[in-house]
Chains A and B, each alone.
Chain A
Amino acid sequence: MAAYHPPKIASHEITPESLFMSRRAFMGAAAGSLLLTSSAGAIAADLKASPSPFKVGEPLTPEKDVTNYNNFYEFGMGKGDPAANSGDFKPSPWTIKVDGMVAKPKEFGLDELMAMPLEERTYRMRCVEAWSMVIPWIGFPLAGLLDKVEPLGSAKYVAFETVVRPEQMPGQSGYFQPLAWPYVEGLRLDEARHPLTILSVGLYGKTLPNQNGAPVRLVVPWKYGFKGIKSIVKITLTEKEPPTTWNRSAPNEYGFYANVNPAVDHPRWSQATENRIGEGGFFGGSRRNTLPFNGYAEEVAGLYAGMDLVKNF
């Protein structure tokens, strides 16, 4: 069992709280003015969370980019489609069924999830498409939920499933559907129990917008973004490695592990560098080097000791 070390953050990397808070006030005002002009359906409610030591010392990606540049094929394949097409989606009422190899299978209602100890965690998010963001999530460790159902000793993997609602999710209906539904994902149990792995119910101080996976989604910051399955309705503990949607769709391009790894290219592009979203136009940003395990190597590399990460991509 690998020991867990909290992230080391150099003091110069920490944004002074007053600056951080004033920035959020500004973002709040900006978001408020946006809401007045937008026709998007569900309006995110304020959400309280305690601060946590998990904070990346890099500028946050603006909220408008976090909520308008999304891959959520249930609402369409374009980056702007989830924000444009998710207005009819109803994230409440909601339940997550947790079953499989557990002593106490249970269905969790949204209230129970929101009553978990919520923390704000600022993580890097690295998409497999070579772009990245820095997002202030609100959520709780997945381990906390798993503890409540008491996984059996024989359980080795955790399988996740997204809701199927063609009437509310336009990407799930019509002649052309890009993927087989439901969207499914999976983690090894030790990955699922790792302190960095959270179920998120909010971002930027509010409940999750529909386009970001309302009401509850997975966030595994050292893996490519597609592992972060959205709008979860089912979690199943299993003995065998569960199938995952992108791996089924293109097995040579997307593996089960999908750990962020600059040394292992996607067959169609290099993963050595990434483009940070929202850094302002053509000349505002720069290409950054992608970090092994997305910068969380110190915390998670031990999970994969002795494994061939080229083969297990």
Chain B
Amino acid sequence: MMIALPSLPRKYHSASVWALYIVGFIPAVSAFYLGATGQLPGNAIKEFEHLLGIWALRFLIATLCITPIRDLFGINWMRYRRALGLLAFWYVVMHFSTYMILDKYLDFASIIADIAKRPFITIGMAGFVMLVPLALTSNNWSIRRLGPRWNRLHKLVYVIAAAGALHFTMSVKVVGPEQMIYIALVAALLVWRLLRSRYNQWRRERARPSYGAAQ
């Protein structure tokens, strides 16, 4: 049943989480370097803004993959989930800052008008606002402090991921395969949340040792 993956020795666990943070920031850092030195082609600011947005969505999707990977393949990558979620948060922060500072030159009247008038920006902004409490409570102290409420609060990530995929899809002139793939991924991962308890129960029943069954 379980995929045999060589498991990472426990002593490397926390190092691997830190490595994920470092690797996770590479796209942003390298694109910032290219953009700041005039090496991003064409519309450098838009390229950077879009790159940050798409990576935010990818990290959100990665966070949502942790549970299904454990359910379906028995691989426990739970230790990486906080890092993935916080990476998503920081990419959204950078995406929004790039829009505000580099793209809009801190023209707040125009920024507020954008957020109020343009549905795709309103949805993106709503996703960002919902991410803030999740980022603030992504620490052990908050988990202990909030108890079962922490779980309920962090279910917001489902809404946020949907908002992110929608924000991306609504922002383009023609909805193409790329947007459809992100929508499909988010939809599949959310649908899994509805199915997983039934699936896990079915698997537990099947795994219950019956007579003569080989392990």
Contacts and interface: CB of A to CB of B under 8 A. Distances in A.
Interface of A: 65, 68-69, 73, 77, 79-80, 129, 131, 175-176, 178-179, 249-250, 253, 265, 267-270, 272-273, 275, 277-278, 280-284, 286-287
A65 B44 CA distance: 11
A272 B42 CA distance: 20
Given A69-B43, A79-B43, A268-B120, A178 B174 contact: yes
Interface string B1-45: 000000000000000000000000000000000011111111111
Interface residues of B, number: 30
12 contacts: A68-B42, A79-B42, A80-B41, A176-B177, A253-B173, A269-B118, A275-B46, A281-B36, A281-B39, A282-B48, A284-B38, A287-B105
Contacts, number: 67
Contact of B174 (A69, A175, A179, A283): A179
Could you tell me the dominant secondary structure of chain B's interface residues?
helix
A178 B176 contact: yes
A173 to B, nearest CB: 14
A270 B173 CA distance: 15
B35 A270 contact: no
Contact of B113 (A65, A268, A270): A270
Contacts of A249: 174
A281 B35 contact: yes
Given A77-B174, A176-B177, A269-B118, A131 B113 contact: no
Could you tell me the dominant secondary structure of chain A's interface residues?
loop
B187 interface: no
B132 interface: no
B48 A275 contact: no
Nearest to B102: A282
B37 A281 contact: yes
Contact of A281 (B44, B110, B171, B177): B44
